[in-house]
Structure 1
Amino acid sequence: MNLPFRFARNLLLVATTVIVAAAPARAVTIPEAPAIEAKAYALLDFDSGELLAGNNPDARVEPASITKVLTTYVAFDEIRKGRLKLDDTALISEKAWRQGKDSSESRMFLTLGSRVKIEDLLRGIIIVSGNDASIALAEHLAGSEEAFADLMNAAAKKLGMTNSHFVDASGLPDPEHYTTARDLAILGRALIKEFPEYYKMYSERSFKYGIDHAQENRNGLLIKDPSVDGIKTGHTSAAGYCLLTSASRDGRRLISAVMGAQTWAYREQASLELLNWGFRFYETASLFGPAAAVGTIKVYKGAASEVQVGTLEPVRLTFPRGSKETMQVQNELSPRAIAPIAPGAVLGKATISVDGKVLKTVDLVALTEVQSGGFWRRLIDQIKLWIGF
């Protein structure tokens, strides 16, 4: 056998597929998602990020005051970066004050020319949906609400909200201010995942500032269902009644976005129907992870002769309840790797299926570092590679 032929034979081994788990197929009956009377809706699993159900999930809709979730996300990100503190104070401009004055039901009752703590503004936005608080925060962070909208759109792009565009911090109607049910669910997931310490504000039921009595959180599900801990309501005559909701039950979390319902009561009913359906008929599992290698690959020219392959983080999957027994994982691993190898270097892929349907394909990577070997090791292994050993 000549050398070029042996080398080509080894390259073909890269595509070899190994089935590492298999089970007989078993039918699992899942009823259709509830029929929701709204412009659009989406139901998202928090752990996996998978869309469990949706109707027009990518259709453009007006977010109304759910916009303020992105407003607070941008503020939380500024805190994370050290450019904002909760006890900083913002000056209340005439624009912010007048917007609150003109929005009799959506205001924090800020006083013109006063200075207000950022933490209070955040609660004013989250709990009582204050338009005045939203503008004051936007102006503090970017100088103007228009400039702040640029920060909002940059954040939306980073999060993968591909069908959204924002022009203000409050959610007032505008032809160029739009989003989708899916994008809002993505935003809700990011908010909870990245800022759990601040997300707790979304479960607070009332807030008092500038008036004698406390204002109630408009998310009625916080009272109706103890598993619900957020997120935000929205309403304008054009947008209809909207609700972005998150609930956690038995270690699982789901996020729903119901957009354009006819009444505030129905948006709550519809959200609960979706959540109940998702929790009842779907489950989540964790696969792989750094402590669960799926195989080893021979290493050439390295200080070690092999490297374990898997994923650096667990892979979370959502599938119909009861179908876990039908899961199959097909691994494709490179026949060899050449040092140096960094942790995370892609050395294969895994395709995960349930009931014959592909759920996800993930990269399989080196779980540890392999440094280059000494001179003689590199020389010997180079010769082996030449002769196809």
Structure 2
Amino acid sequence: MNRLRTLVAATALATTIAAPAAAPPFETPARVAYLLDLSSGAELLNKGADTPMPPASMAKMMTTEVAFELIESGKLSLSKTCTVQPATWQKWHGPAAGSTMFLSPNEQVSLENLLHGIVTLSGNDASVVVAECIGGTEQAFATQMNALAKKLGMTGSRFCNSNGWPDEGCTFVTARDLAKLARASIERHPKLYKQFYGQPSFTWGKTLGSGQDITQANRNPILGKIQGADGLKTGHTEEAGYGFTGSAEQNGRRLIMVVAGLPTYNSRIEESVKLMNWGFNAWQSKPLYAANAAVGSAEVQLGDAATVPLVAERPIAVTYPAGAVGGEPKLKIAYQGPLKAPIAKGQQVAELVVTTPDGTAQRMPLVAGEAVGEAGFFGRLWLGLKQLVGMA
């Protein structure tokens, strides 16, 4: 059964915060808008977060994430050379092919440069070249995209191509899933995220005739406008409208936002900046536990220890509206228990549930602070005897 353990009163008193008033209002013409505070896991805004929608170029975040996963696992190198197939160039060059890196047929390009072409330039050509270089075909690569989406818990999304080009509804995502994808890039691959996301511009290709270098600016609407902005990806098609998945960090507090279905390029800039400013200014976050801090313990069944310490996987905080007064949150540990051995150190086994006085619950993962093995024969015998005595 689900066990809820209330933390000691001293802990609750030590984390007293201002009691939230009603959530501060936010109005937007975007069909979809979602804002997540990673410091607490709190959803600050949810307007259609689970509505399936075409991702447009925001799908390229998944193409990039597949590459990041392979690089981090040692299966792929940034120095790997990829060839621009003539048929791929033919399909993905010219005004009708959308955003481009300006690749050339039979050109040899490193994966590192192609990733810059995807992330900074939103190159449809670069996305397909990477897909073919990694998967052999774009269709085979899409299978890898969907496998990773499943691994990341993106239950409302499907990918049928590498660049988000309209495909009669075969490719679709949700704003919640895009936020999960953004979080994966930020937290699972911090060095690669810093290397590729947030670059103001990138230079690749030559102009016809004069042969001058082509430099294109990053379309990210919050770069240079929001302090700490460093990602992620815009998207636009006639079907999808203008969209953006973005992130910024200020004073150790990181927000992820998704907007979609906006009518114009300028409205995407305006709404993205407005939403991110609202997230940082209308809400505040109070730290509760540092990373790896002990939070409590959980009972273990048939283990070589009766309990396992629970620690914070990452820094834990609670988010609430700015300017509220009085009150304190309630902290509980939730887990399906007793937990069954064996348990690996670092395995997520529980959650810290923080309920603010307005009844809003924020849930943060807790992991095992130590490994717990299975009890041996005599240990199981002793446990059985104790249970018999308890039943008598």
Say whether the fold is shared (TM-score over 0.5).
yes
Superposed counterparts of 1:263-274, under 5 Å: 263-274=264-275
- Among 22, 33, 57, the alignment partner of 1:65 is 57
Counterpart for residue 209 of structure 2: none
Residue 86 of structure 1, CA deviation: 0.7
Residue 226 of structure 1, CA deviation: 3.4
8 Å contact kept, 1:283–1:318: yes
- The alignment status of 1:152 with 2:154, answered yes or no, reads no
8 Å contact kept, 1:90–1:140: yes
Structure 1: runs of 5 or more not aligned: 1-13
Residue 363 of structure 1, CA deviation: 8.2
Counterpart for residue 8 of structure 1: none
Give me the whole-angstrom Cα distance separating, in 2, the residues matched to 1:242 and 1:333. 37
Residue 370 of structure 1, CA deviation: 6.4
Counterpart for residue 26 of structure 2: 34
Counterpart for residue 236 of structure 1: 237
Report the count of equivalent residues. Answer: 375
3-state SS in 1 of match to 2:255: strand
Give me the whole-angstrom Cα distance separating, in 1, the residues matched to 2:329 and 2:350. 19
Aligned CA-pair RMSD? 3.8
Counterpart for residue 328 of structure 1: 330
Question: Are the structure 2 counterparts of residues 158 and 368 from structure 1 closer, same or farther at C-alpha, using a change threshold of 3 Å?
Answer: closer
3-state SS in 1 of match to 2:154: coil
Residue 105 of structure 1, CA deviation: 5.1
Counterpart residue type for residue 204 of structure 1: Q
Counterpart for residue 359 of structure 2: 357
Counterpart residue type for residue 173 of structure 1: P
Superposed counterparts of 1:256-267, under 5 Å: 256-267=257-268
Give me the whole-angstrom Cα distance separating, in 1, the residues matched to 2:152 and 2:308. 32
Counterpart residue type for residue 52 of structure 1: L
Give me the whole-angstrom Cα distance separating, in 2, the residues matched to 1:298 and 1:176. 45
Give me the whole-angstrom Cα distance separating, in 2, the residues matched to 1:136 and 1:333. 45
Superposed counterparts of 1:80-159, under 5 Å: 80-103=72-95, 106-159=99-152
Counterpart residue type for residue 117 of structure 2: G
8 Å contact kept, 2:40–2:362: no
- The alignment status of 1:313 with 2:317, answered yes or no, reads no
Give me the whole-angstrom Cα distance separating, in 2, the residues matched to 1:334 and 1:236. 44
Cα deviation, 1:202-230, whole Å, max 9, x if unaligned, reads: 11111111222311111232122232111
Higher mean alpha-carbon deviation, 221-230 vs 249-258, is at: 221-230
Question: Are the structure 2 counterparts of residues 311 and 269 from structure 1 closer, same or farther at C-alpha, using a change threshold of 3 Å?
Answer: same
Counterpart for residue 282 of structure 1: 284
Counterpart residue type for residue 112 of structure 1: P
Residue 32 of structure 1, CA deviation: 3.4
Structure 2: runs of 5 or more not aligned: 207-212
Query: What TM-score does the superposition give when structure 2 sets the normalisation length?
Result: 0.81
3-state SS in 1 of match to 2:319: strand
Counterpart for residue 210 of structure 2: none
Residue 149 of structure 1, CA deviation: 1.1
Question: Are the structure 2 counterparts of residues 143 and 55 from structure 1 closer, same or farther at C-alpha, using a change threshold of 3 Å?
Answer: same
8 Å contact kept, 2:157–2:177: yes
- The alignment status of 1:163 with 2:156, answered yes or no, reads yes
- The alignment status of 1:20 with 2:22, answered yes or no, reads no
3-state SS in 1 of match to 2:205: coil
Give me the whole-angstrom Cα distance separating, in 1, the residues matched to 2:265 and 2:132. 31
3-state SS in 1 of match to 2:93: helix
Counterpart residue type for residue 319 of structure 1: T
Query: What TM-score does the superposition give when structure 1 sets the normalisation length?
Result: 0.82
Cα deviation, 1:156-206, whole Å, max 9, x if unaligned, reads: 121111111111111111221111122111111111111111112111111
Counterpart residue type for residue 8 of structure 2: V
Residue 318 of structure 1, CA deviation: 3.5
Counterpart for residue 178 of structure 2: 184
Cα deviation, 1:226-261, whole Å, max 9, x if unaligned, reads: 321111111111111111111111110101111011
Question: Are the structure 2 counterparts of residues 325 and 292 from structure 1 closer, same or farther at C-alpha, using a change threshold of 3 Å?
Answer: farther
